[in-house]
Amino acid sequence: MSSEGFLKEVQAIAEKFLLKLQRLPKADPVEIVSFSVVLLFIVTVLVLMIIACSCCCYSCCGCDGRPEPRHRKSRVRPAAH
């Protein structure tokens, strides 16, 4: 998918979202609850992704951005008889 196609798709999704937000005050309670559940799910996924990425980055690198030496793998050689 080209970058222009991707941008058009994102713009279409954003327009649908804004249209849904504009119609929300006049919507049925069931529609409001379902929209809230979907929105909560999206926010939860984004927050969990941010937490996972930050934990992964923190465990790989120290605060200064360099890898920590304790995470190096050492090779085990067979003992000579």
Angle at CA of residue 25, ends 24 and 31, nearest 5°: 45
Residue 72 pLDDT = 57
Chain segment 53-76, per-residue pLDDT in tens: 887 776 666 555 555 555 556 677
Cβ-Cβ contacts under 8 Å for 20 (sequence gap 6 or more): 35
For residue 12, the number of C-alpha atoms closer than 13 Å in the C-beta half-sphere is 6
**Residue 34 in tokens:** 């379902």
What is the DSSP code (8-state) at residue 27?
S
Chain segment 26-36, per-residue pLDDT in tens: 889 998 899 89
pTM above 0.85, yes or no: no
- What sign for the dihedral angle of Cα 33, 7, 3, 48? negative
